[in-house]
Amino acid sequence: MIDVNELRKGVTFQIDGDLYKVLDYTHNKPGRGTATIRIKARNLRKSNTLEMTFISGDRVQDIRLDYHNVQFLYRDDNFFYFMDMNTFEQPAVPAELVGDYEGYLKGDMEVKLTYFGDEPLDIELPTSVDLEVVTAEASARGNTATGVTKQVITETGLKVQCPAFVNEGDVIRVDTRTGAYLTRV
């Protein structure tokens, strides 16, 4: 058991059999009374986000997670397949778990897979990924008083807002946390 004052962004805990990962944490101490801790947490099994409020001194169940470095192999209709870099096992991860990260995954990419026992719970991508631009709109000349951007589509189907000078065939670096264009590689 851990005190709710120890909850910070990224900490995983258990309440009533459900596993939660803290996304945001605020500590509120009014002039009188006890402090309250408000968190925004994602249920790792159901993928929904909840806001929870605790009173200072409450306790939640701490859990032990295992992390495996895996390499993305391929996907089918319902599952993404990875290969564990140490044991060479090939776990199948449900598409719902990968969710919005799908646009960042390309073949042979190494990611970190989080397990609770034998159950895969979460996927952690590198902070940036290099993707090839497949489709880019034509840019208009002369309209450059401000930073002109256009939408491009990458090899994985991800849509990214980029500067006007990015063309088809270019390789761009994209931030996986925000989905923003970083630089042309």
Under DSSP, is residue 65 helix (H, G, I), strand (E, B) or coil? coil
| Domain spans of the chain, in order of start | 2-62, 66-124, 128-184
pTM exceeding the 0.85 threshold for the entire prediction: no
Whether 128-184 and 2-62 are alike in CATH topology: the answer is: no
Q: Residues 40-98: pLDDT tens digits?
A: 998 888 878 899 999 988 899 988 889 999 999 998 888 999 999 999 989 898 888 88
Domain 128-184 bears CATH identifier 3.40.50.300:
no
pLDDT at 40: 93
Token readout for 35 is 């402090």
Categorise residue 86: left if φ over 0, alpha if ψ from -120 to 50, beta otherwise. Answer: alpha
pLDDT at 3: 87
For domain 2-62, which CATH number applies: 2.30.30.30, 2.60.40.420, 1.50.10.10, 3.40.50.720? 2.30.30.30
Which residue intervals of the chain are DSSP H helices?
95-98
Q: Residues 149-158: pLDDT tens digits?
A: 889 999 999 9
Helices (H) and strands (E) in the chain, counts: 1, 16
Q: Residues 95-153: pLDDT tens digits?
A: 888 888 888 998 889 999 988 888 888 888 999 999 999 998 876 666 566 678 889 99
The residue among 53, 57, 55, 60 whose CA lies nearest residue 18 is: 60
Domain 66-124 bears CATH identifier 1.20.1560.10:
no
